[in-house]
Amino acid sequence: MIAYAVSRLLQAIPILFLVSLFAFGMIYLIPGDAATVMGGPEASAADLERIRENMGLNEPFLQQIVSFYVNLLQGDLGQSLMLGTPVLDAIIDRTPITLGISLYSLAVTIVFGLLTGIVAALNHNKLLDQAATLFALIGISLPNFWLALVMIVVFSVHLGWLPTGGYVPFSESPMGWLRTTTMPALALALLQAGLLTRITRSTMLEVLSQDYIRTARAKGLTEWQVIGQHALANVMMPVVTVLGLILSVLLSGSIVIEAIFGIPGLGALMGNAILSRDFPLVQGGLISIACSLLLLNIVVDVLYFWLDPRVRIKGGD
Amino acid sequence: MMKTRKARLALLSTAVAGLMSAVGSVSAQETFECPKVGGDLIVAVESGIPTLDQHTTSAGATRNIAMNIYESLITRDADMSPVLDLATNMDVSDDGLRYTFHLREGVTFHNGKPMTSADVAASFARYKEIGGNRSNLDIVETWETPDDNTFVLVLKQPQATFIENLSTYTVPIVIMPAEEAAKGVGEVDIIGTGPFKLVEFVPDSHVLLERFDDYVASDVQPGLSGFGGHKQACVDTVRFRMITETGARMAALETGEVHIATSVPATSKPRLEALDDVTLVSRLQGVSMGYPNFSRSPTDNLLVRQAMAAAINAEDIIFAASDGEYELEGALQYPSQAYYSTAGLEYYNQNDPDKASALLEEAGYDGEPVILLATQQFQWSYNAALVMNEQLKVAGFNSEVSVLDWPTALATSQNADGAWNFFFTVWTSTVQQGGPIALRNFADPNNVFTPPNNEGPAEFNAIFDRVENGATLEERIAAFGEGQEYAFENVLGITFGILRATEGLRPNVRGYKSFTNVQVSNIWLDD
């Protein structure tokens, strides 16, 4: 299994190189830079040129790309123009915030998505199945930014249960953290839970129609044994794949939700870095997101390896 | 309205004399003292803060915060008149070449270091190098620091509008410690002399300010007035929360999580007005306008530009741009301002598609695309572009809207070869400050309409020179009218109207004065 994980890690290197090259090249493809944003709408072209010069944005392409890769190989992602701090520090500071909300959201997704999917499959074509399908459809159909705004109106403005936004670190106040992250986590989770419900339901229905399930039932196993010991293990294969995808979406796709709730996470950081044309931060953020997604994929692959004997055999273990 | 304008005229014409004798003139009024001290004020602002390095940016979002931390030698008061701030008085030599500023005594920076003329000189040196409006200092030959409390600016030649230019707050010359002034763009530690000091700045989240207990206030005016006057920090802390999503910002105001929320949209006003615990304060925000690209066909052709101006129904555009919160006024000054002129307003809001079609025919327009460059990040840009696009089509233009994110759109508009023919913007601080500042963006070298070789019309530049250097205020005002008329007739820009801005306040916020930027001094919180 270790050899398998190492080989997957090695395969990630060229992908990371391509991502970093894309991140760097992007600067030269889109107009506007940090000087444009910093100077504001009433700055003249001459003013902007001077700001560029002072910020070192005027250096030749070759010089910039060489120093970018030399620094990258030394683990230095550069200095953020917006924050005035090392990019790596900014990412390390913000990652726990986004990761915390993503994991909270993932937990909600798993509980709701898996349970609803299983219940729906076990009650195929009955009222519970239809209710679960409706829930999944609503989850998939509602844009999460809209849901977030509706939640603010209901839970903050009308009921006064939760704050409209902001963020309290867990270390400062666990209850404060829970209060400030619940709505963002739920807003992010609903779509994913809908997706997971559908996947779980359809996979479970397919598994339940397999011969080995019929055999298990014929052996006289109870329904719970059939589901728990035989069906779930096979349902987990596609579900793990989807969960990996869901976590990657949650990690990289929280820009809008973080902006709505004013959460200083990785998503908000990246969103502002793009709007401020803080290219070192955008580059660093893309590379770190790519790293985390690659790592996540490797974890999912290793989980496959562990869950599915067929992969083990193919992998030569 | 006329009375107000006359009052403004008198105010401006006596500005310098008033500045020189300002100290003794306020003793009759009682100096502001905080009725209540303490509390944590929370302000929800609508946009992220690009930087707090105030020398480098014209962004209002930066001024909202930085101008509570920093101060300038001379700034603008609530009426937009120049007012001394870090200086207590100013002497001007008879030949108009030497401006001697006597600094407010006992002022210390937030790091505890006393402020001296050396810090002022270092701040001016930094601004001259990297400052956003450093061309304002081109007229300055040198500066001197005869002693710790005196700073002298020596001009190359007299300039009637020097004090107006020096006191501009678009990119103000704020004073920072000399050791900070030695640093590059965005590298400074944010240390000023203002009533609040910086505690924490998380650019995409919040800024936390704290009362500076050793603050020594100006006595030039008895209370807060614009960026100047007698400032006092009545609250312990101020937290600026960046809540970019309008719905979330309004909800935070409604629930009382924030005390002040900026940019209340017109659509939210009826609901908020119905609440007992929210007060709305409205003010003029800026002139919604746009300008053509002089280097790109077909807007390089005067007749085509004039056809554009003729085709426009400004009322429909400003209505869409503002959701109905506007003043139908086409001048480059507000009617209450000294430089206000109606010259050239016959070219405003023409709404004459037939005239536009005739002009297009005369120009030999062959259906070349006309690209209206806008951004969806600002309603005043996107909505204005959509409506204008339809109006141009009716007149026979082959127009299209190009929608980009704001930095891309802005950068594209600054490129003469860029894919744009008309760019939408709002002039706020430039219009508010009046005089040459309001026309500067049409004059060389700041011309925004990207003329070939960066050389704008010589005739306009000559008029602008008279706006800037006319011997008397009357001459400068007359020249301003000429400049405005030239700008509209030759379509250096097209105005749509004045946008209004609204702030929402909770009832326990007291002493709030609506101004172009959020001022948190002299505000106290009731229980």
pLDDT (tens digit per residue) in B353-389? 999 999 999 999 999 999 999 998 888 999 999 999 9
Q: What's the CATH code of the domain at B200? A: 3.40.190.10
B517 shares a domain with B455: no
Indicate whether B422 and B513 sit together in one domain.
Answer: no
From B51, B244, B418, residue closest to A38, measured CB to CB: B51
Tokens (6 digits) for A299:
């974890």
On chain B, the residues whose CB falls within 8 A of the CB of A260 are 245, 247-248
Structural domain containing residue B42? 38-247+506-525
Mean pLDDT of A187-194: 90
Looking at the structure, tell me whether residues B511 and B362 fall in a common domain: no
Domain count, chain B: 2
Average pLDDT over residues B262-269: 90
Most B CBs within 10 Å, among A30, A38, A266, to test the B interface: A38
Chain segment A237-288, per-residue pLDDT in tens: 788 888 888 888 887 767 888 888 988 888 888 888 887 778 888 888 888 8
pLDDT digits (tens, 9 = 90+) for B131-181: 888 888 999 999 999 999 999 999 999 988 899 889 989 899 999 999 999
Are residues B519 and B461 both part of a single domain? no
B299 and B205 belong to one structural domain = no
Residue pair B71/B118 in contact by the 8 Å Cβ criterion? no
Contact B248 A164 (CB under 8 A): yes
User: And the tokens for B291?
Assistant: 């300008």
* A180 CB within 8 Å of a chain B CB: no
The answer on B187 and B93 residing in a single domain is: yes
Q: What percent of chain B is modeled with pLDDT above 90? A: 71
Q: Which CATH superfamily is domain A87-275 in?
A: MetI-like (1.10.3720.10)
Which of B50, B248, B445 is closest, CB to CB, to A37?
B50
Residues B489 and B519 in one domain: no
Q: Is A150 on the interface with B (CB under 8 A)?
A: no
In a domain, B71, yes or no: yes
**Chain A: closest CA distance from residue B255 (Å):** 6
Domain regions of chain A by residue span: 87-275
* CA atoms lying within 13 Å on the CB side of residue B342: 2
Tell me if B58 and A268 make a contact (CB, 8 A cut-off): no
pTM to 2 decimals?
0.82
Q: Is residue B331 part of a domain?
A: yes
CB-based contacts of B24-33 (< 8 A; 24+ apart in sequence): B26/B219, B26/B220, B26/B221, B26/B222, B29/B222, B29/B223, B30/B222, B31/B219, B31/B222, B31/B223, B31/B230, B32/B222, B32/B223, B32/B224, B32/B230, B32/B232, B32/B522, B33/B232
Say yes or no: B510 and B495 in one domain.
no
**Quick one: B511 and B492 in the same domain?**
no
Confidence band, pLDDT 50/70/90 cuts, at residue B261: very high
- How large is the greatest C-alpha to C-alpha distance in chain B, in angstroms? 69
Q: What ipTM is given for this predicted complex?
A: 0.72
**Pair B474, B408 in one domain:** yes
Q: What is the CATH number of the domain that holds B347?
A: 3.10.105.10
Report the C-alpha gap between B102 and B100 in whole angstroms.
7
Q: Among B130, B255, B418, select the one facing A160 at the smallest CB separation.
A: B255
